[in-house]
Amino acid sequence: MLNPMGTVQTNPYTENATALHIKFPENKKQPYYYPPFDKIIEKAAEIASSDSANVSSRGGKKFLAVLKEILDRDPLSQLCENEMDLIWTLRQDCRENFPQSLPKLLLSIKWNKLEDVAQLQALLQIWPKLPPREALELLDFNYPDQYVREYAVGCLRQMRFLLERALANRRIGQFLFWHLRSEVHIPAISIQFGVILEAYCRGSVGHMKVLSKQVEALNKLKTLNSLIKLNAMKLNRAKGKEAMHTCLKQNAYREALSDLQSPLNPCVILSELYIEKCKYMDSKMKPLWLVYNNQVFGEDSVGVIFKNGDDLRQDMLTLQMLRLMDLLWKEAGLDLRMLPYGCLATGDRSGLIEVVSTSETIADIQLNSSNVAAAAAFNKDALLNWLKEYNSGDDLDRAIEEFTLSCAGYCVASYVLGIGDRHSDNIMVKKNGQLFHIDFGHILGNFKSKFGIKRERVPFILTYDFIHVIQQGKTGNTEKFGRFRQCCEDAYLILRRHGNLFITLFALMLTAGLPELTSVKDIQYLKDSLALGKSEEEALKQFKQKFDEALRESWTTKVNWMAHTVRKDYRS
């Protein structure tokens, strides 16, 4: 009642909980009970057999056209009273012709009217099963009814329950374990998540040794990070790094941090720390940069970043959306060479991030090509020359192709998701040409500002040094640039056709407590960026305008990057 999006579980912290006492001046001695399911179905049958219910609830062509227009709207669209009445009146047409309309039908019913609720419960028994992607919406807080949620779970049975899949597949089980453990400290869900966590551990005893080893390793990293934060105030960087290495050489740390399955990827064994390459980073929370020497398994070194003090769940959500976009594009025959690296929250404001090998930030590439930090951001040849340094001949052509496709993917993705704070240190490029973005602290159009002025004035990052690479260093290579632009437009339209899925998934995350996803208003950005209220032609026109704007205003991006590079060079 006080928090409609909150849980209905009992608060385990009763001493500190806010209590609301309600007194009813008059009440009957007999308690009220919700009727059992068979009584509800009996009531529905009674209504159906009555004379008043025999009136046809079928709509003519005119009404069906109006109904279809209402049902085609995105999940955030509000229904007026007349529209809700029409949907409820034509519920049989909805079931037979528009089964995907069930969420809107559920929003149209008068839940305080016994007769309507009974008819709905009976209707659910014969409602066609929805595809899993559409059934997900029914697990939103807008649909708390027990039988509606049972229907939704029945639709998801095609994918099987998470706990069942986790017990049968250790990879899924490992991620379930860490997803639960990372949020079990939250009072509203601690009991529920704790029970599921215990159920998994009891049902998968053989997996416990592996998970216990991971928990021990992360506890050691948390202790080490706390020591580094303490020493950072007393020691210079060189002494701090030396103290870190001394700590990692201790037997207790060596044993805990060696020969364990990576929480980020169970297929990867973290064999032995390459201590001399381990360090801590300069940012406020002093993240640990750990390098594992996996040559004993015939593999390259593996890098992992441990963060303690930052909430990684928003990064996880954004990366999950990038994976979904990649999947949808590939289903449509478009591979944009996306690189959604691993990221996993493992506790309260702590977690792990995968280090992508053979990659550098745009800032470092530009700085290494210039003697003057202020001029580095404006060197349009730096990026192409860097790719030429590691690729030649056919390999260079492939690298430019990788860059072109991945740049198109991240341009569209960052626009649709409203990813902000895009400076040259959180856009990276692999030596094979793949471009990718990191650090997703600002999403859904929450762009950073300084003194009330927005620092980011472009819908997405598309600078002239990027275009220089796409055009293979040839000014006016309209064929290559035209293909890049077409890739962006195709990618945008593919995502737009699945717009309701993105809105549903973000709506399901509203209760997670993410800093920039707290209300339905935050999801409005998605609706606007995907132009869901417009036709496909109008939406494409809007995207083309945004593309031209990104190109036209790219000089502002370079100015921001120059300021960032100068600050970075000064600090170093």
Write the single-letter amino acid at 360.
Answer: E
The answer to whether 458 touches 420, Cβ cutoff 8 Å, is no
In 3D, which of 349, 346, 334 has the Cα closest to residue 284? 349
DSSP codes, 117-171: HHHHHHHHHHSPPPPHHHHGGGGSTT---HHHHHHHHHHHGGG--HHHHHHH-HH
Q: Last residue of a domain, which of 309, 325, 355?
A: 309
Question: Which residue has 């632009």 as its token pair?
Answer: 485
Domain that holds residue 343: 315-571
Classify 494 as helix, strand or coil. Answer: helix
Q: Are residues 266 and 394 in the same domain?
A: no
pLDDT, position 54: 47
As for how many domains the chain has, the answer is: 4
The answer to whether 439 touches 419, Cβ cutoff 8 Å, is no
- How far, in Å, CA of 65 to CA of 86, rounded? 12
| Alpha carbon of residue 95 to chain centroid | 32
pTM beyond cutoff 0.85: yes
pLDDT, position 53: 45
The beta strands (E) that lie in 139-262 are given as 260-262
Helices 190-203 and 170-181: crossing angle in degrees, nearest 10, is 150
Classify 539 as helix, strand or coil. Answer: helix
Phi-psi map region of 333: left, alpha, beta (phi>0 left; psi -120 to 50 alpha) = left
Q: Are residues 449 and 341 in the same domain?
A: yes
Please, which residues have CB within 8 angstroms of residue 146's CB and are 6 or more apart in sequence?
Answer: none
| Structure-token pair, residue 330 | 């590939």
Q: How many residues does the chain have?
A: 572
Q: Are residues 127 and 216 in the same domain?
A: no
The answer to whether 511 touches 141, Cβ cutoff 8 Å, is yes
Q: Are residues 321 and 444 in the same domain?
A: yes
pLDDT, position 235: 77
Q: Last residue of a domain, which of 245, 277, 309?
A: 309
Phi, psi of 435 (to 5 degrees): -95, 145
Q: Dihedral of the CA atoms 355, 437, 382, 568 (nearest 10)? A: -80
Break the chain down into helix, strand, coil percent, rounded to 5: 55, 10, 35
Query: In this structure, what CATH number is given to the domain that contains residue 386?
Result: 1.10.1070.11
Q: Are residues 490 and 473 in the same domain?
A: yes
The answer to whether 408 touches 491, Cβ cutoff 8 Å, is yes
The answer to whether 253 touches 224, Cβ cutoff 8 Å, is yes
What is the H or E stretch that residue 479 is in?
A: helix 478-497
Please, which residues have CB within 8 angstroms of residue 417's CB and are 6 or more apart in sequence?
Answer: 318, 321, 443, 444, 526, 529
Q: Are residues 340 and 255 in the same domain?
A: no
Phi-psi map region of 451: left, alpha, beta (phi>0 left; psi -120 to 50 alpha) = left
- Going residue by residue through the chain, which has 572 residues, state the pLDDT in tens, using 9 for 90 and above: 455 555 656 666 677 777 788 887 777 777 777 788 888 888 888 888 774 544 445 556 777 888 888 888 888 888 999 999 999 999 988 999 899 999 999 999 999 898 999 999 999 999 999 988 889 899 888 888 889 999 998 888 766 666 777 777 888 899 999 999 999 988 878 888 898 999 999 999 989 999 999 999 999 999 999 999 988 778 788 888 999 999 999 999 999 999 999 999 998 999 999 999 999 998 889 999 999 987 655 567 899 999 999 999 999 999 999 999 999 999 999 999 999 999 999 999 999 999 999 999 999 998 887 766 666 667 788 999 999 999 999 999 999 999 999 999 999 999 999 999 888 899 999 999 999 999 998 999 887 666 555 667 789 999 999 999 999 998 888 899 999 999 999 999 999 999 999 999 999 998 888 889 988 899 999 999 999 989 999 999 999 999 999 999 887 777 777 776 666 655 55
Q: Are residues 188 and 256 in the same domain?
A: no
Q: Are residues 259 and 374 in the same domain?
A: no
Query: In this structure, what CATH number is given to the domain that contains residue 263?
Result: 3.30.1010.10
Query: In this structure, what CATH number is given to the domain that contains residue 104?
Result: 1.25.40.70
Classify 54 as helix, strand or coil. Answer: helix
Q: What is the DSSP letter of 304?
A: E
Q: Are residues 333 and 250 in the same domain?
A: no
Q: Last residue of a domain, which of 290, 309, 328?
A: 309
Q: Are residues 222 and 270 in the same domain?
A: yes
- How far, in Å, CA of 498 to CA of 493, rounded? 9
Q: Are residues 245 and 371 in the same domain?
A: no
- How far, in Å, CA of 64 to CA of 26, rounded? 47
Q: Are residues 175 and 95 in the same domain?
A: no
pLDDT, position 571: 55
Rg, C-alpha atoms of the chain? 28
Please, which residues have CB within 8 angstroms of residue 545's CB and are 6 or more apart in sequence?
Answer: none
pLDDT, position 56: 45
